[in-house]
Structure 1
Amino acid sequence: MAERDDLLASIAATTADYREADGEVPTPERVERWISQFDAAVQIPILREMDHVLKHTYFSRKGTRKFLAGLFQTEKLVGEDPCAFWKGVKFLDIQGGGASQKEMLALFSKVLEKKCGFEAADCGAAPHAFVYLDDAIFTGNRVRRDLETWIAEQAPAEAKVHVITIALHSGGQYYANGKIKEAAKAAGKNIDLTWWREIELEDRKAHTTTSDVLRPVAIPEDEGVKAYVAGMRFPPNLRTAGHIGGNGIFSSDAGRQLLEVEFLKAGMRIRQMCPHLNQYQRPLGNMILDTLGFGSLIVTFRNCPNNAPLALWAGDPWHPLFPRTTNSDTSMKRFMAMLAKDVF
């Protein structure tokens, strides 16, 4: 049991500040309860792979603060005088759902206050640029809709817009970029859009084989999965074995395939047992398109995205590794209370 106990403790340590403001901090006991839902033969192999993966895909509050501190002084963006640059920026607080943008802005405001003596709310009286700051981009629909509305209703005739995130997925960025440009053209406005990120994850269909998300190489011998696939309008887009993706998220292709197969099978069981999931909450993660699911493994200290496999976050009666919050108002209040105490 030594290896099992070590893995449980390691995963809990890596994710130790997950939803800390909401009292959802992981423990070895929670990890044990989660992994015990899988077949006994694959429990330790899954723990091994998840221990490796989460060290690459989990963004702690410390890592987020490091990202924001680096962003503050990114010379390619801010030039030689960071305070002057940020003072002239208008931070967009326009997110139509969730609290991630407000919380990222609150964290970055702390950086500005420490470095420059002013907060984000004090910036952009006569903006030379606009900043859309968030933690991650998955399908691209959130940023697309937010900026489409802003362009139609609030944006000036000409604007420089920086979209800044810790992580983005290539397909989502490509999709959103095209739609935002279409919105600008329709509105008769000149919007100069630039994307900034710390990590870019490949998820485009044309690059499935070298992607950084879960894309099975074959459909497993599982009746629930086979029935789901039979009901899809188009055959699933399978990848060719032998690749771990450009970001080295997976320890090996064998480890990657293990997660793809076991999370797909678990996702099917979860869909059958959990009554509150909608049709878009697919086995490997939320996706409007009729697929096996988005398959992202990015998790932040704030929350687990619904674009991750159901096996990671779905609940009642499934026991999730990362319980999601959908009550953004309550979670935001707790987050701001902790921030006010300098806990972050």
Structure 2
Amino acid sequence: MTNQRQTLLQSIATIVADYRQGEIAAIDPNHIDRWVRQFSEFGFDDEAQIIILGEMERILKSYYISRICAQSFLTNVLTSQKLFGDNPAATIRNAQFLQIQRKGNSQHDLLALCEPILQSKYGLSLRDCGSSPAIYIYFDDCLYSGNTAWRDVNAWMPNAAKGTTLHLIFFAFHTEGLRYSRRQIESEAQKYDVNIKFWRLHKFHNSRWNPSQFDCFWALQTSGDEFIDRYLKEIDERRQNSNRSLPDLFRPANMPKQDKIFSSAVARNLIEYAFLKVGAYIVSLPRNPNASMKPLGYDYFDSLGFGAIFITYRNIANNCPLALWWGDPHKAYPLNTWYPLFPRTVNTTQAPGWEGF
């Protein structure tokens, strides 16, 4: 194994050392090497694998949210004068921390991280806050399409006190999801005289209509691969039967104009093609695949996939490329045909509660 390869494997393992800590075996260099070596079956040799590893290291180094990073961000939020004014200690007593998420556990887990921070900074617990709310706090890991936040808030909104402010706070959001959810939530909030504000640590541009900056995986046009061509045939038929105008299926050759995610255009093209090729193969495996299952990540739209790059210590979203998370070597066919880099836990739907701490 070359020194460069070993260095990259060790670096990635160090960055993601706390991924699902206590739930799965720690991600070590051997695990990462086993994952990336699978790409050789799809025509990507050792040199190409080093590029894939290099781009993943770059992305994770900049955007992976470790538990320590999450705690730091939440501490900054809970002591922010932008959110709570000149005297956060007084204001925060009137903040109700919402637990209204109807799918997944991210909100519950993030609120559990908030508890010791509130105790340390203010001598308060979550239950000491918000009995007479002036503001509401909604936490989640990341805003992707915007549907989760919109559905949660829409169902809860009739319970909000008039004249209050709802702060929606994420480690990251995607610009199209923000545009959609903000429009929907603000429209509903006007009926209840509630002000809406969004906050985030990272912002990812993902408009395929205006991709001068595009911060997700989105492959250039290609053909000649059995599984990609099969997928394209199916998706083209669906797109032709669509009644609405759709953006380009493939990333335009001259886009994006600016790129903060990848190290070079050549490296970007290679890793996107590798993930598309593997993802198209994975999509071909299930007998009745989910309609949202796309090579570059689950997406409601008829596309190559959402292409998200964002991963936290808690989990990886199914909006990320299938090559990163799909599969389980301990399960039966077809799940045992691909070894995932980030084994994923599936979100479950929770019974609605609309309770605030």
TM-score (norm 2): 0.86
Shift of 1:278: 1.5
Distance 1:82 1:184, change over 3 A: closer
Amino acid at match of 2:277: K
Aligned 8 A contact 2:169 2:198 in 1: yes
1:211 is aligned, of 201, 211, 214, to 214
Distance 1:138 1:24, change over 3 A: farther
Q: 1:56, 1:191 → 2: CA distance?
A: 35
Q: 1:323, 1:275 → 2: CA distance?
A: 22
Shift of 1:220: 4.5
Equivalent in the alignment of 1:16 = 17
Amino acid at match of 2:179: Y
- Specify which structure has the higher proportion of helix: 1
Shift of 1:263: 0.4
Q: 2:102, 2:346 → 1: CA distance?
A: 14
Equivalent in the alignment of 1:126 = 132
Equivalent in the alignment of 2:341 = 321
Structure 1 residue runs without a partner (length 5+): 330-344
Equivalent in the alignment of 1:88 = 94
Amino acid at match of 1:179: Q
Alignment of 1:203-282 (within 5 A): 203-232=206-235, 233-234=238-239, 236-241=249-254, 243=256, 245=258, 248-274=260-286, 277-282=289-294
> How many residues end up aligned between the 2 structures?
325
SS of equivalent residue, structure 2 residue 39: coil
Equivalent in the alignment of 1:202 = 205
Aligned 8 A contact 1:53 1:251 in 2: no
SS of equivalent residue, structure 1 residue 286: coil
Deviations for 1:28-68, whole angstroms, at most 9, x for unmatched residues? 11101110110242211111111111111211011111111
Distance 1:275 1:11, change over 3 A: farther
Equivalent in the alignment of 1:336 = none
Alignment of 1:112-191 (within 5 A): 112-152=118-158, 154-184=159-189, 188-191=191-194
SS of equivalent residue, structure 1 residue 19: coil
Percent identity for Structure 1 against Structure 2? 35
Aligned 8 A contact 2:133 2:164 in 1: no
Equivalent in the alignment of 2:309 = 297
Q: 1:141, 1:245 → 2: CA distance?
A: 28
Amino acid at match of 2:126: A
Shift of 1:264: 0.6
Shift of 1:276: 7.7
SS of equivalent residue, structure 1 residue 144: helix
SS of equivalent residue, structure 2 residue 164: strand
Deviations for 1:287-343, whole angstroms, at most 9, x for unmatched residues? 1111111001100000001110000000122110000012669xxxxxxxxxxxxxx
Aligned 8 A contact 2:189 2:195 in 1: no
Shift of 1:221: 3.4
Aligned 8 A contact 1:18 1:24 in 2: no
Q: 2:289, 2:340 → 1: CA distance?
A: 14
SS of equivalent residue, structure 2 residue 276: helix
CA RMSD of aligned residues (A): 1.9
Whether 1:64 aligns to 2:70 is yes
Equivalent in the alignment of 1:340 = none
Equivalent in the alignment of 1:44 = 50
Q: 2:206, 2:172 → 1: CA distance?
A: 12
Worse-matched range after superposition: 248-257 or 301-310: 248-257
Q: 2:138, 2:131 → 1: CA distance?
A: 16
Deviations for 1:80-105, whole angstroms, at most 9, x for unmatched residues? 22222221101110001000001111
